[in-house]
Amino acid sequence: MKIVWAIAITNYKEIIRERLLYGILVIAALFTAVSFFLATVSLDQNARVMQNTGVAAIHFMTLFICVFVATNSVHRDFERRALYFLFPKPISRTQYIFGKYLGFVLLTLTTLAILGGLFSVGAAFLSPSILPAVGVNLLFSFLEISLLLAVALLFASFTAPLNAALYTLALFVIGNGQSTIKNFVDKLDNNALTYITNGVYYLLPNLEKFNLREATLYDVRVPLAAIAWALFYWLVFTSLSLYLASRVMHKQEL
Amino acid sequence: MSKKTDAPLVVTNLKKSFGKVKAVRDISFSVDAGEVLGIVGPNGAGKSTTIKMILGLLEPTSGSVELFGKKISDASVRTRIGYMPETPSFYNHLSGYELLQVAGTLFSLSKAEVKRRSADLVEMVGLSDSAHRPLREYSKGMLQRICLAQALINQPDIIFLDEPMDGLDPIGRIRMKETLLEIRSKGTAVVFNSHILSDVAAISDRIAIMDHGTLLKLDTVTNLIPKGKTLEEVFIKTVEAA
């Protein structure tokens, strides 16, 4: 664990000391701040609009930042020969993958804390009642983004950084629209399409499990079983992605 | 060649192909404790590929490598080796000290031990004044030296250096030579490759000449270089005759 943590902290320091990240975070904070403006121009729905747009902005911005940073970071390790520094030492490639992932998780937490913190300060003045719901949403945002980062790490272990980022974002889009696609195909009554859709439904991550935005917006109580299932789903999918990434890494020649 | 199981390094019938290109063709050699082996050869001779296979960074097509009688996949072996890659850049935002701290932690050294060894090593490689600066501000020579320091943090029994003199100015080369001789004096075996033949002749106990993935000659400096001749002359004659 000491070795995994050392790799994680090194990875985190390398990312967090990049000046470009601060520029991107400022832009992300401005996007998030737009939710306050939208809330003021909405009719009697200020709190809901602020909550919905604010949480969504934080979620998308954190996702974009973390996925692009993560895929580039793995590429840099190859390009700058950091792997030549690491692998002749008594560490395994599995420890490397877990260390990198843990570093990305720390980055996600930092980004969510900065954007979520700034938003919460604004919300505390304008509409403090939404704060508990914002907290729950950010927690599930963290789960979804951290799952996608494991997938991004898998892609980055064998393909170019831009490709890895785009594949991950494609999975994000598909993963958030799986039920819609499945319902649509079910109505078409086409057996072949139904089989394919069912295959995709079970193979690719279903990220709708982590989307509580609607539920918290309308005060719908989410069953505890659904939350437990989401956590279990996160654990299985993240572990599987990291395992596959470490297998790919074991086969990589440097 | 007789196998010496206690030898720091025994390479047997090592081959590596990249598709149809044969990068290393059936080479065998060993390195004894405290010995310095210099590998020379033109670009594409297979020097770096050989070192990478020894370190497990590349998988050999066939043949075997044993370090202290064990495979490189054995993590306990890797606690006894050091490696300085060619033109390193690593982690640009870390300082020299931080890089050494990470390296020491990866060898499971205590914080106090890492601190003590780091101070000694930056002194040895002449970076005491700049070890707190981020690596992105280092010149190529400084990067080479901090990279050598990280390769020595675990006090290895054998160290591999890929082009350690590459890109260094004359003073940097002299310093690197002195450092390598100091490492040797402590009983550490050294395997390195270089294009600067005069340096190789000055530092090495034995010299290997490679070309097109083949080990053309391997002998002690005195046997390889006849009196009145230089390594350059021997090298050109050997490579042209191959």
Q: Please report, for chain A, the start and end positions of each structural domain, with discontinuous segments joined by +.
A: 2-251
Amino acid at A71: T
Q: Which of residues 55-94 of B touch A (CB under 8 A)?
A: 55-59, 75-76, 78-79, 81-83, 85, 87-94
Closest CA to A54 of A231, A165, A216: A216
Distance (Å, whole) CA A142 – CA A125: 25
pLDDT at res. B239: 87
- The pLDDT of residue B80 is 94
| b/e code A88-116 from CB counts within 10 Å (16+ = b) | bbbbbbbbbbbbbbbbbbbbbbbbbebbb
Res A47: pLDDT: 79
The percentage of residues in chain A with a pLDDT greater than 90, rounded to a whole number, is 46
pLDDT at B3 over 80: no
SS3 of chain A: helix, strand, coil, percent, to 5: 85, 0, 15
pLDDT at residue B2, as a whole number: 43
Model confidence at B142: pLDDT above 50: yes
pLDDT for B5 equals: 56
What backbone phi and psi angles, to 5 degrees, belong to A138?
A: -65, -35
SS (H, E, C) chain B: CCCCCCCCEEEEEEEEEECCEEEEEEEEEEECCCCEEEEECCCCCCHHHHHHHHCCCCCCCEEEEEECCECCCCHHHHCCEEEECCCCCCCCCCEHHHHHHHHHHHCCCCHHHHHHHHHHHHHHCCCCCCCCCEHHHCCHHHHHHHHHHHHHCCCCCEEEEECCCCCCCHHHHHHHHHHHHHHHHCCCEEEEECCCHHHHHHHCCEEEEEECCEEEEEEEHHHHCCCCCCHHHHHHHHHHHC
pLDDT digits 0-9 by tens, B89-130:
778 899 999 999 999 999 999 999 999 999 999 998 888 999
In DSSP terms, which residues pair with B82 in a beta bridge?
B159
Q: Which residues of B touch A254 (CB under 8 A)?
A: 52, 57-58
ipTM computed for the complex = 0.87
Q: Report the alpha-carbon distance of residue B72 to residue B56 in Å, rounded.
A: 6
Is the pLDDT at B218 greater than 90? The verdict is yes
pLDDT in tens, A110-169: 999 999 999 999 888 888 888 888 888 899 999 999 999 999 999 999 999 999 999 999
Note the pLDDT tens digit of each residue in B40-92: 998 889 999 999 999 999 999 999 999 999 999 899 999 999 999 887 777 88
Q: Which residue has better confidence, A53 or A241?
A: A241
In the prediction, which pLDDT does A51 show? 83
Nearest CB partner across the interface for B57, out of A3, A6, A84: A84
What dihedral do alpha carbons B168, B171, B175, B176 form, nearest 10°?
20
- pLDDT of res. B16: 94
CA distances from B171 to B126, B140, B175, B176 (A): 12, 13, 6, 9
Residues of A (4-63) whose Cβ lies below 8 Å from B: 6-7, 10, 13-14, 17-18
* Rounded Cα–Cα distance for residues A170 and A165 (Å): 9
Other residues' Cβ atoms within 10 Å of the Cβ of residue B220: 12
- Average pLDDT rounded to a whole number, residues A179-183: 82
B27 burial class (0-12, 13-18, 19+ CB within 10 angstroms)?
buried
A7, A82, A88: residue with CB nearest B83: A88
Digit-coded pLDDT (tens) for A98-113: 999 999 999 999 999 9
Cβ–Cβ gap A14/B92 under 8 Å: yes
> pTM (2 decimals)?
0.89
Inter-residue contact B22 to B15 (CB < 8 Å): yes
